[in-house]
Amino acid sequence: MTDTPELEALRTKAEEEDAAYNALLSALDALAAFPLPVEQLPDLPAQKERMNALWETPARPPGSGLAGAFRTRAWDALAPALERQQEFNATLVQLLNGQLDASARLDARLRDLVAALVRFLQRVLPVIDARDRHSSALSTTRAELILEAFDRRQEALSRRLGGLIALRDRIESLSEETRAVAAALRANAPQPAVAAQAVRAAEGAAYVAFENRFRGPVEEVRERLADYVPLFEGRAPVVDLGCGRGEFLTLLSEAGIEAHGVEANPHLVRAGTERGLDIVEGDLLAFLEEQADGSLGGVFAAQVAEHLDPPALLALLRHSHRVLRPGGCLVLETVNPRSAFAFLETFNRDLSHEKPLHPDTLSFLATAEGFSDVRIEMRNPLDAAARLQPVPAQDLPPRTAGILNENIERLNAFLYGPQDYALVAHR
């Protein structure tokens, strides 16, 4: 995910502050290592003792003999000056002693101060980190509480929406029953026919509601089927077996290709014919049996083959091969059972599905019935966000990341493969 300019600016500022903090800490570490004067001058204590020993003037010499009398007279003459010198020396020594002691105490306190400051700064960052983690934990907790409350509200809304959708489906089914009865009355049909038509409409309308819910909107289905149109260009007429709501018939009509539909659901037949589509109501196998040999250029059926039992499926392939002229095209789209997601979420949802059809099985059966150029096309892939995501290569050693991503791709192919496939074969 790309950072926003604001987030990028905050990250840059944080990096600058971290660099400044580390530089300050390094400078203080360097200052804390300065030597004290007593460490720089190892002879200073001895020199101080020597100075204290030498500041006093010598005692008055004895006066015996001529020489002694001379020394005594000279001492007495110099005594006043010597006394002043002795007083000066004493004062100077006391001053130096006090200065040296005070300087030593100050240096020691200064070193202690710098060391304490370094220790303080070393504790600042962990404290800030702990507070940030605490704030982050609180934010996460608040976010989780908000999400939990949101989930509860979403669940409640989903229940309400589910009720509304069920009500909509029921209303749609009842509306179709009402329209079927009204149509029978307008046609002056006998009462038993009206009742039979109402029952059929009720059954058909319920399945239409099911399709509307789970197969998807008309425009979405049109988009998925549009790629099949070029396969039938120059191959009119084309029949769409189990044409449903008529999405593919509309696409063929828009492309100028003559096409007819066969549908067993009366609700869908009436809806399609009201839109101008050529749809007949009936069984698709019965329709194929009635067609002359080589009379069609194309046979198409989407999401129909899985509704047939094996004998009906074989009959569909046999009659399709018979009614197609040389070069004609057969396209059968069905659920892909090799995708676990499609099998569990699509195939198993529809109670009218007979059994899943493996691509190899359907391809073999078509070849056995005489079709040539038989191929399988995978259709309707899942969105990438729904699949397992690869491991970022930079987070692991290259070989490990490669093996993991290869296994993830295999799992994706098995679990989240394309939801449908199409058999494309030619006469």
- Strand bridging mode 372-379 / 279-281: unpaired
Predicted confidence at residue 332, as pLDDT, reads 97
In this prediction the pTM is: 0.56
| Residue (of 318, 315, 350) closest to 334 by Cα position | 350
Which pLDDT tens digit goes with each residue over 60-117? 666 666 666 676 777 667 667 666 776 667 777 776 777 777 777 777 777 777 777 7
**Chain Cα centroid distance, residue 84:** 94
Predicted confidence at residue 420, as pLDDT, reads 94
Residue 411 pLDDT greater than 70, yes or no = yes
For 189, the token pair is: 């049909």
CATH number of 215-426, picked from 3.40.605.10, 3.40.50.150, 3.10.180.10, 3.90.1170.50: 3.40.50.150
SS3 content of the chain, % helix, strand, coil (to 5): 65, 10, 20
Percent of the chain with pLDDT over 70: 70
What is the spatial distance between Cα 244 and Cα 221, in angstroms, rounded to a whole number? 11
Percent of the chain with pLDDT over 90: 33
Residue 29 CB-density burial (10 A; 0-12 exposed, 13-18 middle, 19+ buried) = middle
Residue 342 pLDDT greater than 90, yes or no = no
Sheet holding 372-379, edge to edge: 279-281, 259-263, 238-241, 296-302, 324-335, 420-426, 372-379
Q: With bands split at pLDDT 50, 70 and 90, how would you rate the model's confidence at 267?
A: confident
Residue boundaries of the structural domains of the chain: 13-145, 215-426
Residue with tokens 């007819």: 260
For 347, the token pair is: 């195939």
Long-range Cβ contacts of 312-318 (<8 Å, 24+ apart)? 312/285, 313/357, 313/365, 314/365, 314/369, 315/285, 315/288, 316/241, 316/284, 316/285, 316/288, 317/365, 317/366, 317/369, 317/371, 318/369
Region for residue 370 given its phi and psi (left: phi exceeds 0; alpha: psi -120 to 50; beta: otherwise)? left
Helices vs. strands in the chain: H and E counts, helices first: 13, 7
Predicted confidence at residue 2, as pLDDT, reads 58
Which pLDDT tens digit goes with each residue over 145-185? 777 777 777 777 767 666 665 566 666 666 656 665 565 55
Which pLDDT tens digit goes with each residue over 289-327? 999 999 999 999 999 999 999 999 999 999 999 999 999
Residue 262 φ/ψ, nearest 5 degrees:
-125, 130
What is the spatial distance between Cα 56 and Cα 89, in angstroms, rounded to a whole number? 7
Which pLDDT tens digit goes with each residue over 198-243? 555 555 555 555 565 556 678 888 999 999 999 999 999 999 999 9
Q: Are 207 and 227 in contact (CB under 8 A)?
A: no
**Chain Cα centroid distance, residue 119:** 43
What mean pLDDT, rounded, does the chain reach?
Answer: 79
Task: Return the SS3 of 374.
Answer: strand
Select the more confidently predicted residue: 26 or 300: 300
Predicted confidence at residue 36, as pLDDT, reads 65
DSSP state of 59: P
What is the spatial distance between Cα 276 and Cα 181, in angstroms, rounded to a whole number? 22
Terminal Cα-to-Cα distance of the chain (whole angstroms): 51
Select the more confidently predicted residue: 408 or 333: 333
| Lowest-pLDDT range of 11-20, 117-126, 290-299, 369-378 | 117-126
- Average pLDDT on 369-379 reads 94
Residue 368 pLDDT greater than 80, yes or no = yes
